[in-house]
Amino acid sequence: MSSKPTESESRLLTQEYEVLHEVARVLHSSQGMKSMLENVLLVLTGFDELKVERKAGIFLADPDKKVLNLYCTLGEFTSVFLENEQVIPYGDCLCGRVAESGELLMSESCFSDARHERRYEGMQAHGHYIVPLKTREKLLGVMFLYTNTNPSWYKHSQEVLLSIGGLVADAIEHSLVEEELTRYRNELEERVVERNIDLKQVNTTLQKEVVERTNAENELKNIREQLRNLSNHLQNIREEEKTRIAREVHDELGQSLTALKMDLVCLKDELPEQRAELAERVQSMSGLIDSTITSVQRISSELRPQILDVMGLCEAIAWQAKEYQKRTNLQFDLNCEHIPLNKELTTDLFRIFQEALTNVVRHAEADRVRVGFLQKGNRLTMEIEDNGKGMPLEKIDHSQSLGLIGIRERILFLDGDVEFLSKPGEGTKVVVNIPLEP
């Protein structure tokens, strides 16, 4: 049965309540850890019943090194004291003992207590409360409060001090975690800033590289186009040259030879009959002139067949096929339409046809060739297909396949496309498609 508290007991209870309330308020205020703890010390030194003097301090524990580090003090301490009390090993003097035991310690007087090992010149007689700052059995520090030489040891003093120690320890742990978090956050922010700078640099370098590469690509494109134009130009010059030489050879040489032949016929008529050996000479000269005329015609046609300009591509293809048939044992299967085309296109298609045909004769070992030349809608299709051994795939894009490259270049200029289709042993098919202007 608890009896009704006396008036002095009530006063004490009120004071305890007030101190605890004040400590809790200070610990919940949003100041930094140091001023928060200094204010706690200030509240406690105002608690009359403990007979505390205005001198107190807090150590923080370093469990790895097993030492206490002086964190803050309240009241007047000599500089010698402050210097020497910065670090206290666990077990040393009063505070070190509390760090080791985790128990509250009260000392009547620094002079009579043998545990008070550290003494200083001019030290005044005083007593102590040494309070462990523990939260969930973990020691975070030690709080010391100076008292007069006779500290109060009233009924609740230990409980109150231990409760306050627990509250302070919680607050310290909270602050330390927060400090750590802030440190991490700052570190992270710094890293993000560094990373951003790095990324920006990488980005700048990349952009520069992209610009350089684009420039190089454009330059390459230009050069390729120039080369293509040059090749086309040379091709045209060559064609004109061939046409001119073919005409001159055909017309001038041909006419002179024909005139010569006619003269020879007259000469033969006028020879006396008894000069039979002269008549024979004239006969053989006439034969020589005939075969020379044939040669001149052949050379002229090989340079540029007149039929191409006079009759058109379809007829030129037929003529060329017949020429090949005479010289090789190739059989031709022609399916060509007569399509009126301009001179350039006629020339290009004829030269492509000739190159494809030369390849058949040279490489294919074929005995049949099918040639198609047709108009389908507004495009032209030309196909040259042999039944030979087939074209090795790697030759199609080989840099040394100059004949095939020439075909491709001509087609490219005409906005068309060409395909080389081939399987080993199954022959080769060259398919050309050219769009016709509407």
List interacting residues with ligand ADP (CB under 6 A): 359-360, 362-364, 386, 388-392, 395, 401-404, 428
* Phi, psi for 155 (deg, rounded to 5): -55, -50
Nearest approach, Cβ of residue 353 and ligand ADP (Å): 13
Closest CB to ligand ADP among 73 and 387? 387
Nearest approach, Cβ of residue 327 and ligand ADP (Å): 17
Closest CB to ligand ADP among 147 and 428? 428
Q: Exposure of 397 by Cβ count < 10 A (0-12 exposed, 13-18 middle, 19+ buried)?
A: exposed
Secondary structure (3-state) at 358: helix
**Cα distance between residue 27 and residue 40, in whole Å:** 8
Closest CB to ligand ADP among 147 and 387? 387
Secondary structure (3-state) at 336: strand
What does 52 bind: ligand ADP, Mg ion, none (CB cut-off 5 to 8 Å by kind)? none
What does 372 bind: Mg ion, ligand ADP, none (CB cut-off 5 to 8 Å by kind)? none
Nearest approach, Cβ of residue 363 and ligand ADP (Å): 4
Give the count of beta carbons closer than 10 Å to the beta carbon of residue 401.
Answer: 17
What does 391 bind: ligand ADP, Mg ion, none (CB cut-off 5 to 8 Å by kind)? ligand ADP
What does 401 bind: Mg ion, ligand ADP, none (CB cut-off 5 to 8 Å by kind)? ligand ADP
Closest CB to ligand ADP among 122 and 425? 425
Contact residues toward Mg ion (CB under 5 A) are 359, 403
**Which residue, among 110, 70, 66, 72, has the nearest Cα to 92 in the 3D structure?**
66
**Cα distance between residue 241 and residue 230, in whole Å:** 16
Which residue sits closest to ligand ADP, CB atoms considered?
403
What does 312 bind: ligand ADP, Mg ion, none (CB cut-off 5 to 8 Å by kind)? none
Per DSSP, 49 falls in state G
Closest CB to ligand ADP among 424 and 435? 424
Closest CB to ligand ADP among 383 and 386? 386
Nearest approach, Cβ of residue 243 and ligand ADP (Å): 24
Nearest approach, Cβ of residue 212 and Mg ion (Å): 39
Angle between helices 157-248 and 7-28 (to 10 degrees): 10
CA distances from 380 to 133, 209, 349, 359 (A): 98, 44, 10, 22
Nearest approach, Cβ of residue 420 and ligand ADP (Å): 8
From edge to edge, which strands make up the β-sheet containing 67-74?
Answer: 87-89, 67-74, 52-62, 138-147, 127-135, 105-107
Closest CB to ligand ADP among 372 and 403? 403
- CB contact set of 362 (below 8 Å; sequence gap of 6+): none
CB 55 within 8 A of CB 77: yes
CB 410 within 8 A of CB 351: yes
Closest CB to ligand ADP among 134 and 408? 408
What phi-psi label fits residue 421: left (phi over 0), alpha (psi between -120 and 50 degrees) or beta?
A: beta
Nearest approach, Cβ of residue 423 and ligand ADP (Å): 11
From edge to edge, which strands make up the β-sheet containing 428-435?
Answer: 331-336, 368-376, 379-386, 428-435, 417-422
Nearest approach, Cβ of residue 361 and ligand ADP (Å): 9
Closest CB to ligand ADP among 87 and 402? 402
What does 140 bind: ligand ADP, Mg ion, none (CB cut-off 5 to 8 Å by kind)? none
Nearest approach, Cβ of residue 279 and ligand ADP (Å): 50
What does 169 bind: Mg ion, ligand ADP, none (CB cut-off 5 to 8 Å by kind)? none
What does 363 bind: Mg ion, ligand ADP, none (CB cut-off 5 to 8 Å by kind)? ligand ADP
**Cα distance between residue 147 and residue 110, in whole Å:** 10
**Which residue, among 345, 369, 340, has the nearest Cα to 356 in the 3D structure?**
369
What does 383 bind: Mg ion, ligand ADP, none (CB cut-off 5 to 8 Å by kind)? none
